[in-house]
A and B are shown apart, each in its own frame.
Chain A
Amino acid sequence: MKRELELDDHKLDVKELEVKYSTSVTKGLSEAEAAQRLLRDGPNELRPPRGTPGCVRFGRQLAGGLQCLMWVAAAICLIAYGVQEGEGDRGSSDNLYLAVALIAVVVVTGCFGYYQEFKSTNIIASFRNLVPQQATVIRAGQVLQVNAAELVLGDLVEIKGGDRVPADIRILAAQGCKVDNSSLTGESEPQTRSPECTHESHLETRNIAFFSTMCLEGTATGLVISTGDRTVIGRIASLASGVGEEKTPIAVEIEHFVDIIAGLAVLFGGTFFTVALVIGYPFLRALVFFMAIVVAYVPEGLLATVTVCLSLTAKRLARRNCVVKNLEAVETLGSTSVICSDKTGTLTQNRMTVAHLWFDGQVHTADTTEDQSGQSFDQSSESWTLLSQVITLCNRAQFKPGQENVPVAQRDVIGDASESALLKFAEVTSGPVAAARGRFPKVAELPFNSTNKFQVRTGEGQVDTGGTGELRWDRWAQVGQVSSLMSPMMSPMSPMTSLMSPMSPTLSPLSPGFCARWLPPGTDTPPEDLAEVAQGLCFAGLVSLIDPPRATVPQAVRKCRTAGIRVRDMGTLGTSGTLGGVGGLGTLGGVPRCAQVCYLCRQARARVVTGSELAAMAPGTLEELLRTHPEMVFARTSPQQKLVIVESCQRLGSIVAVTGDGVNDSPALKKADIGVAMGIAGSDAAKNAADMILLDDNFASIVTGVEQGRLIFDNLKKSIAYTLTKNIPELAPYLIYITASVPLPLGCITILFIELCTDIFPSVSLAYERAESDIMHLRPRDPRRDRLVNEPLAAYSYFQIGVIQSFAGFVDYFVAMAQEGWWPGLVLGLRPRWEDEHEQELQDSYGQQWTFWQRRYQQYTCYTVFFISIEMCQIADVLIRKTRRLSLFQQGPFRNRTLVVAIVFQVCIGCFLCYCPGMPNVFNFMPIRFQWWLVPMPFGLLILVYDEIRKLGVRRHPGSE
């Protein structure tokens, strides 16, 4: 493998290649042969690099920042236990239990994290399989679409602009083919590919295209010379290992947040530790405080909650045909403020249909019904004959084989939308296209691209033109799909345009014009010069194509608008039909005139900007326009211009989502904060650049995505707020314990039970919370201000709700103490005597005498009472967290079934911990009296009422906290 690959295929000529790979350069391999070779060589894909071994990854889960803290805490406990044991104090194995509990926590969360990582790796992997790379291959003379992994040595493949090269390929024929080798060689300039051998080295020569590089434009046919790991790229091991999993930013942000929390925990713990030492606690005891505070502060269950939230949403999205490449993308989509949409296929059905034709100075209406059978226009004209010839021949689309019995309109076509429409039109109106093409074999071709905006094909053969007798055309050139009426490129045809456009209100801007001319016999034109050939043509006619907007689009666009998201159409070919939806102008009755639309748009604060206008704009003008016009349509823009649009939006502070399918969209997709590619129509380049893929190519799915993104953010926020709140009532007991010297109200093990047992389910269940009904009526969040965990959230959780909860806990604590004989006045300052193990006759407020263990069990009762108080308040907390703005009753308190179940479950666990026999000595829970469950309830009610008042305020005065 280390050895430099020796390859001489580029030096061989076609005959030698045929022999070497025992194949045919015209017909390709037979299916049987291909299957055999596939079996012999294995699939054509890179073997994924061997991942980090499971035990190492598991080890990493056990050694995170939080986990280290927990290990330290456990170690402290063990030491404390060891010291106590060494002193012969056999009574208290609390510290041992605590150490065991802490270690169990670390291991269990480690297992959970490992399992989640394992699962999410699998999810991502399965996403990859969902969008497999396709390759066009010729086998036994038939053009087929196969999964790229099924390619074998000797296969004859076709590539076109936007495709990823499916294997190492020796080019046999090429038309203007350019590839991007940057991933392999680092050259950023597109490289021309042609059949000639131009260099000794196989890396430098022009006639080899490499696996996984991108074909930018043009077409090529080639022979597969190596597959899978034997390809040049497959041998570069380092490249393959770069496929490793990356940490998503939201994970990074959460880890960052956890670091802050851990830092705070250590800071608080350190302070308490020092204070305890100063007050005069023994070192070991102070260490145990430190540990207890760390345990109280660290939100042990948070990571689990976040992971569950994210993967839940990813699954929910996948069900709606949105595939997310990385989970955080969902969240980004939620904060999107501008969607730049490429019209084709996203806003429209991507089912081009011929609507009108123009020839002989007249507009003819074509049949646009489903089966396109009843063509009613006059087909006897000479111009029609010429036009139909051009439509048939200057067209790269073709039917997939084996569909002879399928109605034309429903056949599958290889080729883009416009060409497919023309192909079907030609098949219906002028008979079998394949036969016509057979009569005029292709000599050279210049495919359509966004720079030259036309397509040239030179053909050879005989053509009958009806009426004028037989003409012999040795060579002729056709120009098809000169797509633009407004493009400067159209200048040779401008007289015609000006002649036609005023009188054809029915023709949309998307009207390919078709021209043809004779070429002198024997003219041989290299593909680069084909543009030159396309001069002085005879104009045959125009065809108007429409791509009707999808039924769901207007509603989706309306939804976006209420959600404060601007939709900008930056299609290469702006259709007014789409605009009708986008600009909120309503449908203008079929296909409106462009000028008319522009006029209306100006009135409606919307604006149409064409690519040429954009090119002429001074810098800064675009930003100004974007600022003043909430809705905008860009027509006929180039990839560079799309990039400029996206950048301008981003400069204005917007979070930009870009949708696109073509290779021309990929720069914009990459530049966008979130790129959304189309699953069906999308090219590999687009899918690669995108963060999210819409499997059904439906714009409405994006809106769903936005909703889900906002939902996930909201729910995560709710969950975190819920999780954070209880830190205060867990911390406060230690604060009071040390400062007011009361018997400890809440034990470490109890805290662990709150963090990891009872509160996990409600906090995860918040991920199942439905969207607040106004979620799509709000402005997108400002990513700089509305962070996941921001100041108001922390302050509200910690200093308001958390404090109420602490009060609830202390009230219950003092009640439980007083009712058992220890009045508050006595309790304050009682700690040293209370904790004295030699004191076996401590007097309570009534003169009764208590042994140490009787006091200890009373202390456990307090733990339990405090625990129950926190639980009761946390039930109120989870209920208030269900909504951030709406009233609980607007949302419906019981509509989230998972949450209801979680609350019931939480109460059941609470009961179990309290009343299961044996608990006192194992986990320090005591059976408590029923009324101590009731004491914190008014505080829970207070939380509910207080938060309802806050929400009312937020609804009355939007934007305030």
Chain B
Amino acid sequence: MSKETKKPFRQSMAEWRQFIYNPNSGEFLGRTAKSWGLILLFYLVFYGFLAALFTFTMWVMLQTLSSDIPKYRDRISSPGLMISPKPDTALEFYFNRSDSQSYSEYVTTLQNFLESYNDSKQSQNIECTSGKIFDQSEAAVKKACRFNLSELGQCSGKEDANFGYSKGTPCVLVKMNRVIGLKPEGEPHIQCTPKEEGMVNINYFPPNGAMDLKYFPYYGKSLHAHYLQPLVAVQLAITPNGTKEEIAIECKILGSPNLKNQDERDKFLGRIAFKVLMSE
């Protein structure tokens, strides 16, 4: 039961114009310049205060954080696996063993990746006792353990600069994500299984795909600057059956109860799947 009558269009237009700028009172959008100024000033002060408060809180919070070790590692209790080389699109390797162009990208990536593992780069790194967690929590300066490229055998790039791609035995390096303070239990090792049998034979370097415990734990990039992740090279000796076929391979970390590899959602937690298609 509305008791108001509707205004004609012309009048409401005039009222709008009046609202936007009222020449009589000098009001712009219903306020005078002074009023607008005061409002702007108020919000300037108000937001300035809030921004200062925000900055101060952030600063205080950052003061409480150590720059060496993160406060919590709730979301990364277990590391993910990754491979190198890593094709840009989904993890699928397509190459022709007789066409060096088709795999040069993979080779370059591997070479670049392994550069940091060169002996010259590892001069400061020490030899550690294998098979044992290398706990340095007491030490002020954390040492990094040497990872000898020779452990990668045929995949080290020393013997075969093409990492086996030209021979039909392409190498893929499997590495585990760095997680600060992670101490794997048991004897972690990488095991890769092709989806279908008979298409590929898999060799591991180091043998059994073992990941030595001496490379753990990691102490963070500021304390542990020269740290190098242990690598496991997976050599895929593709049989004539497997040529021209897409071979699906899944690698998992096994042998360690505290490294998960079965997460339903996270397909990279302790495992990785990739495909290889080699033509001749």
A847 x B58 contact (CB < 8 A): no
B61 x A818 contact (CB < 8 A): yes
B211 vs chain A, min Cβ distance (A) = 15
**What A residues does B68 contact at CB under 8 A?**
846
Bound CA–CA A807/B71 (angstroms): 23
Per-residue interface assignment for chain A, residues 832 to 850, with 1 indicating a CB less than 8 Å from any chain B CB and 0 otherwise: 0000001011011111111
A441 vs chain B, min Cβ distance (A) = 47
Bound CA–CA A791/B1 (angstroms): 26
Once A811-B57, A854-B266 are accepted as A-B contacts, the answer to whether A849 and B179 lie under 8 Å apart by CB is yes
A848 x B80 contact (CB < 8 A): no
Q: Could you say which of A618-626, A820-828, A881-889 contacts chain B?
A: A820-828
**What A residues does B70 contact at CB under 8 A?**
819-821, 844-846, 848
Bound CA–CA A929/B74 (angstroms): 10
Q: Which residue of B lies closest to A791 (CB)?
A: B30
Bound CA–CA A858/B74 (angstroms): 9
Max chain B C-beta neighbours (<10 A), residue from A673, A846, A853: A846
The reply to whether the CB of B132 lies closer than 8 angstroms to some CB of chain A is no
**What B residues does A854 contact at CB under 8 A?**
75-76, 80, 266, 269
The reply to whether the CB of A814 lies closer than 8 angstroms to some CB of chain B is yes
Query: Residue B178 contacts which of A824, A849, A853 (CB distance < 8 angstroms)?
Result: A849
B71 x A851 contact (CB < 8 A): no
**What A residues does B128 contact at CB under 8 A?**
none
Bound CA–CA A715/B221 (angstroms): 56
Q: Could you say which of A295-303, A750-758, A798-806, A872-880 contacts chain B?
A: A798-806
A819 x B71 contact (CB < 8 A): yes
B71 vs chain A, min Cβ distance (A) = 4
The reply to whether the CB of A857 lies closer than 8 angstroms to some CB of chain B is yes
The reply to whether the CB of A132 lies closer than 8 angstroms to some CB of chain B is no
Q: In B196-233, which residues have CB < 8 Å from any A CB?
A: 218, 220-222, 224, 227
Query: Residue A841 contacts which of B72, B82, B218 (CB distance < 8 angstroms)?
Result: B82
B3 x A673 contact (CB < 8 A): yes
B50 x A848 contact (CB < 8 A): no
Per-residue interface assignment for chain B, residues 237 to 270, with 1 indicating a CB less than 8 Å from any chain A CB and 0 otherwise: 0000000000000000000000000010111110
The reply to whether the CB of B47 lies closer than 8 angstroms to some CB of chain A is yes
The reply to whether the CB of B13 lies closer than 8 angstroms to some CB of chain A is no
Bound CA–CA A848/B182 (angstroms): 11
A849 x B75 contact (CB < 8 A): no
**What A residues does B71 contact at CB under 8 A?**
818-820
**What A residues does B221 contact at CB under 8 A?**
843, 846-847
Bound CA–CA A51/B3 (angstroms): 27
Interface size range on A against B: 35 or more
Bound CA–CA A840/B75 (angstroms): 14
A635 vs chain B, min Cβ distance (A) = 28
Bound CA–CA A942/B54 (angstroms): 12
Once A815-B61, A851-B269 are accepted as A-B contacts, the answer to whether A810 and B80 lie under 8 Å apart by CB is no
Bound CA–CA A861/B75 (angstroms): 9
A820 x B74 contact (CB < 8 A): yes
**What A residues does B3 contact at CB under 8 A?**
673
A921 x B53 contact (CB < 8 A): no
Q: Which residue of A lies closest to B68 (CB)?
A: A846
The reply to whether the CB of A665 lies closer than 8 angstroms to some CB of chain B is no
Per-residue interface assignment for chain B, residues 33 to 75, with 1 indicating a CB less than 8 Å from any chain A CB and 0 otherwise: 0000000000100110010011001100110010011111111
A929 x B1 contact (CB < 8 A): no
The reply to whether the CB of B123 lies closer than 8 angstroms to some CB of chain A is no
Once A804-B50, A851-B80 are accepted as A-B contacts, the answer to whether A818 and B65 lie under 8 Å apart by CB is yes
A800 x B46 contact (CB < 8 A): yes
**What A residues does B266 contact at CB under 8 A?**
851-854
B111 vs chain A, min Cβ distance (A) = 19
Query: Residue A851 contacts which of B50, B90, B177 (CB distance < 8 angstroms)?
Result: B177
Q: Which residue of A lies closest to B175 (CB)?
A: A841
The reply to whether the CB of B2 lies closer than 8 angstroms to some CB of chain A is yes
Once A818-B65, A823-B62 are accepted as A-B contacts, the answer to whether A848 and B268 lie under 8 Å apart by CB is no
A848 x B265 contact (CB < 8 A): no
Query: Residue B72 contacts which of A673, A820, A849 (CB distance < 8 angstroms)?
Result: A820
A853 x B265 contact (CB < 8 A): yes
**What B residues does A840 contact at CB under 8 A?**
80-82, 177, 268, 272
Bound CA–CA A823/B71 (angstroms): 11
Bound CA–CA A811/B3 (angstroms): 50
The reply to whether the CB of B164 lies closer than 8 angstroms to some CB of chain A is no
B73 vs chain A, min Cβ distance (A) = 7
The reply to whether the CB of A19 lies closer than 8 angstroms to some CB of chain B is no
The reply to whether the CB of A249 lies closer than 8 angstroms to some CB of chain B is yes
**What A residues does B222 contact at CB under 8 A?**
846-847
Bound CA–CA A853/B76 (angstroms): 10
Bound CA–CA A854/B177 (angstroms): 12
Bound CA–CA A922/B218 (angstroms): 34
Per-residue interface assignment for chain A, residues 702 to 727, with 1 indicating a CB less than 8 Å from any chain B CB and 0 otherwise: 00000000000000000000000000
Query: Residue A849 contacts which of B46, B89, B177, B272 (CB distance < 8 angstroms)?
Result: B177
A815 vs chain B, min Cβ distance (A) = 5
Once A252-B2, A849-B177 are accepted as A-B contacts, the answer to whether A799 and B43 lie under 8 Å apart by CB is yes
**What B residues does A249 contact at CB under 8 A?**
1-2
**What A residues does B1 contact at CB under 8 A?**
246, 249, 326, 691
A846 x B69 contact (CB < 8 A): yes
**What B residues does A821 contact at CB under 8 A?**
70, 72-73, 76
B79 x A849 contact (CB < 8 A): yes
The reply to whether the CB of B144 lies closer than 8 angstroms to some CB of chain A is no
B8 vs chain A, min Cβ distance (A) = 18
Max chain A C-beta neighbours (<10 A), residue from B53, B80, B272: B80
Q: Which residue of A lies closest to B269 (CB)?
A: A851
Bound CA–CA A772/B89 (angstroms): 65
The reply to whether the CB of A280 lies closer than 8 angstroms to some CB of chain B is no
Q: Which residue of A lies closest to B272 (CB)?
A: A840
Query: Residue B50 contacts which of A807, A823, A853 (CB distance < 8 angstroms)?
Result: A807
Bound CA–CA A818/B57 (angstroms): 13
A395 vs chain B, min Cβ distance (A) = 39
**What B residues does A838 contact at CB under 8 A?**
88-91
The reply to whether the CB of B172 lies closer than 8 angstroms to some CB of chain A is no
Once A326-B1, A838-B90, A841-B80 are accepted as A-B contacts, the answer to whether A803 and B177 lie under 8 Å apart by CB is no
The reply to whether the CB of A91 lies closer than 8 angstroms to some CB of chain B is yes
Bound CA–CA A938/B57 (angstroms): 10
Bound CA–CA A522/B73 (angstroms): 115
Bound CA–CA A719/B265 (angstroms): 41
A820 x B75 contact (CB < 8 A): yes
B58 x A850 contact (CB < 8 A): no
**What B residues does A810 contact at CB under 8 A?**
54
B65 x A819 contact (CB < 8 A): yes
Query: Residue A850 contacts which of B76, B88, B218, B272 (CB distance < 8 angstroms)?
Result: B76
Max chain A C-beta neighbours (<10 A), residue from B53, B76, B178, B267: B76
Query: Residue B265 contacts which of A673, A819, A921, A938 (CB distance < 8 angstroms)?
Result: A921
Bound CA–CA A133/B22 (angstroms): 55
**What B residues does A861 contact at CB under 8 A?**
74-75
Q: Which residue of B lies closest to A799 (CB)?
A: B43
Query: Residue A820 contacts which of B47, B69, B73, B269 (CB distance < 8 angstroms)?
Result: B73
The reply to whether the CB of B173 lies closer than 8 angstroms to some CB of chain A is no
Q: Which residue of A lies closest to B176 (CB)?
A: A849
Query: Residue A853 contacts which of B62, B69, B269 (CB distance < 8 angstroms)?
Result: B269
A-B contact pairs, 16 of them (CB 8 A): A326-B1, A691-B1, A803-B50, A819-B71, A819-B72, A820-B72, A820-B74, A823-B65, A838-B88, A838-B90, A843-B178, A848-B73, A848-B218, A853-B263, A853-B268, A929-B74
Additional A-B contacts beyond A811-B61, A820-B74, A847-B224 (19; CB < 8 A): A246-B1, A249-B1, A252-B2, A804-B50, A811-B54, A811-B57, A818-B65, A819-B70, A819-B72, A840-B82, A841-B82, A846-B68, A847-B180, A851-B177, A851-B269, A852-B266, A855-B75, A861-B74, A861-B75
Q: Which residues of B are at the interface with A, using a C-beta cutoff of 8 A?
A: 1-3, 43, 46-47, 50, 53-54, 57-58, 61-62, 65, 68-76, 79-82, 88-91, 177-180, 218, 220-222, 224, 227, 263, 265-269, 272
What 7 A-B pairs are tightest by C-beta distance, nearest first? Answer: A847-B221, A851-B80, A849-B177, A853-B266, A821-B70, A819-B71, A851-B268
